[in-house]
Amino acid sequence: MRTVYFGIFVHCLALADIQVLPSAAVGVDEDGTIEFLDQNARSAEASAEKHSWPVGSYSVVSSDPTSASFFFPGFFDTHIHASQYPNVGLFGKTTLLDWLNSYTFPLESSFSDLKVADDVYSRVIARTLGNGTTTAAYYATVHTAGTNLLADLALKAGQRAFIGRCCMDANSPDYYCDKDLEDAQKATLEVIEHITKIDPDHDIVCPILTPRFAASCSKELLSWLGKLSTDTNLPVQTHISENMLEVELVKSMHTFADSYAGVYDKCGLLHDKTILAHAVHLTDDERALIAKRGSGIAHCPASNSALTSGETRVKWLLDAGVKVGLGTDVSGGFTPSILHTARQALLVSRHLSMKGDESHKLSIEEVLYLATVGGAEVCGLADKLGNFLPGKKWDAQLITLDCKNSPVDIFPWELKTHEDLVAKWLFNGDDRNVTKVWVDGKLVAGTAFTS
Ligand code: GUN
Ligand code: ZN
C-alpha cells in the first residue's frame, strides 16, 4: 500500500544546505519510491488529494505534532568491519599495525566458526539499524561461509549492505590469510555468486571487492581484483594512507608505483565505484588523482583518534571535488553509530582548525550532509538515496527527542528553533531517539518497531 508521511522533515540538499520543513508530506508508492514531496502541507490527506491519491488508497504515518520529532534520511556507514564488533573499545595504546596483530586478526580468525559469525553479525546488523544506519559497507573476514552468512542476515533484516570478503594473500599471519592467489580468487568468486543468487539485482545486498589494504595483497591479486571490477562493474572498498608506518610499508612492498594511491591506480582499483577508508596522510598529487578517478573517501574520525592515526582534512578533500562520507570503522572506531561519528567528525575538524587554519572547521549541516548525501555519493547511490527528493527511495528514520528515557532534555519553556533541536540531537542523541527506521519503504527497526 502507498503511504503518506506527514510532519516535520529535515534533510540535506547540498553541503551546508540543510532543509527543515516544519509541515510537509512525502508520498511513497508501493515500491518504496518517493512520488511527491509537498513542502507546505496542511495535512497528509490534503497532500494526497493534491496529488490525485484517492482516499483509501494510502495509509498515513505522522510524526507526533505535540512532540519534538522529525523524519530524517537513513544514515550511511561507508566503512565498518562487522566482524570486529566484539572488540569495540578495545585498543589500548596501540596504533594500526600492532593493533591489527594483537586485537584484530585473532578475533577475525575465529569467524571460521559459523556460530561466532551468526552471533556477531546478527547483533551488529540490529545495532547499526537501530542507530538509523540504512546502508552499510561491511567488511566481513577472509572466510567465505561467514561472509555469505553476513549477506543472508543483512538481506533478512532489510538493511542495504555492501558485503566484502577480505582479500589478503601477502604479508598476513599464517593463521589468518588467503593461502595463495588462487585461493583468494576462488573465494571471492564464490561470495559474488552467493550474493547474486540471494539478491540477483543487488538491490539490497551487493558484493564489494575488498582487497583489505595494499599491505596485505600481492600485486597480482590487486590487479586481478581491478580487472574483475572493470569486467563486472562491482564496487571496490579498501584502506588508504591511514597511518605513517603503513604508508612506509606499502611504499617498500609495492615499488612499481610512486604513491599509495598510485598502487591502487596502477592495478585498476581506483574508479568511481571505489570507497577508500581514512585518507589521513594523502599528498596533494594523490588527492588530485583520487578526484580525477572519482573515488570516494570514508572518513572515520573516531577510529583515527582512537588509533592516533591522524586528522583527515575533510574540507581539503571536498575542495578538490573528492566525495566524502562517514565511516564508523568498527572496531578501530569504538561506536557503531553514525550520529556519534558525525559528532566526532565535527570535533576532529575543530582540532585541525586549532592549528591555525579555520577553513578546516565543519558545521553541523556539513557533517549531517556527510552522514547522508555524502555517504550516498561515496556508495554510488546518490541518484536513489540520501534525501527526500522525489524519485528516491524511502530510507528514513523517525527521530523523537522527547521520547521516554531520551538522552536529550527538551525544556517546555525553551523557545527553540528546529535548527536548535537538530543541534541538540547531534550532540546528545542516540539510538533511544530512533523511533522507526525504514528501508525501501519497509519498516525494519527502531524503538517502536514490532515485527
Ligand atoms: N587496515 C587494514 N585492515 C584494517 C582494519 O581492519 N582496520 C583499520 N582501521 N585499518 C585497516
Ligand atoms: Zn577499516
pLDDT band (50, 70, 90) for residue 398: very high
For the record, the C-alpha cell of 319 comes out as: 575542495
Q: What is the mean pLDDT of the chain?
A: 97
- What is the tens place of the pLDDT at every residue in 153-170? 999 999 999 999 999 999
What pLDDT does residue 338 have? 99
Cβ 287 under 6 angstroms from ligand 1:
no
Residue in 78, 80, 95, 104 to alter for ligand 1 test, most ligand atoms within 8 A of Cβ: 104
Question: Which pLDDT belongs to residue 59?
Answer: 97
pLDDT in tens, 209-252: 999 999 999 999 999 999 999 999 999 999 999 999 999 999 99
Q: Which of 52-66, 205-219, 279-293 shows the lowest per-residue confidence on average (mean pLDDT)?
A: 52-66
Closest CA to 448 of 57, 6, 62, 12: 62
- pLDDT, one tens digit per residue, over 334-362 is 999 999 999 999 999 999 999 999 999 99
Q: How many CB atoms lie within 10 A of CB 270?
A: 24
Task: Quote the Cα angle for 37-70-400, to 5°.
Answer: 155
Of 213, 240, 264, 330, the residue with max ligand 1 atoms within 8 A of its CB, to mutate for a pocket test, comes to 213
pLDDT of res. 450: 58
By alpha-carbon position, which residue is closest to atom 7 of ligand 1?
A: 332
Pairing state between β 17-28 and 34-38: antiparallel
**Which residue is closest in CA terms to ligand 1's atom 3?**
212
Mean pLDDT of 18-23: 96
- Determine the angle formed by the axes of helices 338-353 and 418-428, rounding to 10 degrees: 90
pLDDT, tens digit (0-9, with 9 covering 90-100), for 411-434: 988 878 999 999 999 999 999 999
Closest CA to 29 of 451, 435, 440: 440
- CB of 108 within 6 A of ligand 1: the answer is no
In short, whether 81's Cβ falls inside 6 Å of ligand 1 is: yes
Residue 123 β-bridge partners = none
- What is the DSSP annotation of 174-233? TTSS-SSHHHHHHHHHHHHHHHHHHSTT-SSEEE-BEE--GGGS-HHHHHHHHHHHHHH-
Identify the pLDDT of residue 232. Answer: 98
Does the pLDDT of residue 191 top 90, yes or no?
Answer: yes
75-81 and 17-28 as β-strands: parallel, antiparallel, unpaired?
unpaired
| Nearest ligand, measured from the Cα of 166 | 1
Tell me what pLDDT residue 67 has.
Answer: 79
- C-beta 79 within 6 A of ligand 1: no
Q: Which residues pair with 4 in a beta bridge?
A: 27, 60
Has residue 174 got a pLDDT over 60? yes
Confidence of residue 124 (pLDDT cuts 50, 70, 90): very high
Per DSSP, which regions of 274-417 are E strands?
274-278, 296-299, 323-326, 396-400
* Residue 332, ligand 1, Cβ within 6 A: yes
80, 81, 87, best to mutate for ligand 1 pocket (most atoms within 8 Å of CB): 81
Burial degree of 150 (CB within 10 A; 0-12, 13-18, 19+): buried
Return the percentage of the chain with pLDDT > 70, whole number. 100
**Nearest bound ligand to the CA of residue 97:** 1
Residue 416 pLDDT = 81
Average pLDDT in the 189-197 region? 98
Q: What is the mean pLDDT of residues 258-280?
A: 98
pLDDT above 60 (res 451): no
- Measured CA to CA in angstroms, residue 382 lies from 76, 369, 377 at distances of 11, 12, 5
Closest ligand, as measured to the CA of 87: 1
AA identity, residue 114: L
DSSP code string of 256-277 = TSSSHHHHHHHTT--STTEEEE
